Amino acid sequence: MERPVIRLTHCQKQIFCFSVPDECPSCGDQLTGSRLQEAPVSLPSPLTNAHKTSCCLLITPADHTHRDFGGTSDLHTGISNTAGVVYNYTSVGVCRSQAGWEQSVCVPLVRPDMFHLLAQWDQYLHRFSEGPLWDPAWHRFDEDNHNCFSFCLQFVNSVLAAEGRSAMSRETFTQSFILPRMRRVHKYTTLYQHVHRHQYYMEDGQEEDGQET
């Protein structure tokens, strides 16, 4: 998804495309200057370069050669430190990746005003990753019960405990933080693929009273 999707409005239609077409695909009018009801808007991609983030949960396809967020491939998760190094648990133990996570779903875990936690984040993450629970000599990686998501969730709960807060269950964390972002990625990916195949996607816009049709 290297090209940005843009949205423009004409004849009460919202049109999604990679570049403004010469003619409106709905009515055939020329799309120049004042013919557009509003300026085209570039839709932000839901994917982020994880190595430019800090203190985030990251989600990326496990197969880096086939970046599919559509539900047909396994996903891999990790936690970034304050320098954008992604700590992620695999069958060989904890990896500290400085590349390979350039197209990821990003879930911020620390507010910018939490200075005390930001100052200790790297120490927390390093100490946690060095624990015997993530050493293959002590515990074997298991795709269902002891995996990359287990590493991330247990780290988050260890930080919550250090801050005197209650732990989150896998279900709560998934429902509150993971699924909303994955739904957005799925919608954006579906839209992008449609525009790539058909040059544009069109849907009803807004009526004059401002209510969505």
Q: What value does the mean pLDDT take over residues 35-41? A: 75
From start to end of the chain, where are the E strands?
6-10, 13-17, 41-42, 56-61, 75-80, 86-90, 93-97, 105-108, 200-204
Per-residue pLDDT at 67 exceeds 60: no
pLDDT number for residue 62: 81
CB 184 within 8 A of CB 175: no
Beta bridge partners of 12: none
Beta strands 200-204 and 41-42 are unpaired
DSSP percent split of the chain into helix, strand, coil, nearest 5: 30, 25, 45
pLDDT, tens only, 5-27: 999 888 888 999 999 888 888 88
pLDDT, tens only, 103-114: 999 999 999 899
Residue showing tokens 């875990």: 109
CB 47 within 8 A of CB 187: no
pLDDT, tens only, 143-156: 888 999 999 999 99
What the block records as the tokens of 181 is 């972002």
Which class for 155: exposed (0-12), middle (13-18), buried (19 or more C-beta within 10 A)?
buried
pLDDT, tens only, 82-139: 999 999 999 999 999 999 999 999 999 999 899 999 999 999 999 999 999 999 989 9
Q: How far apart are CA 107 and CA 181, in angstroms?
A: 8
pLDDT number for residue 26: 86
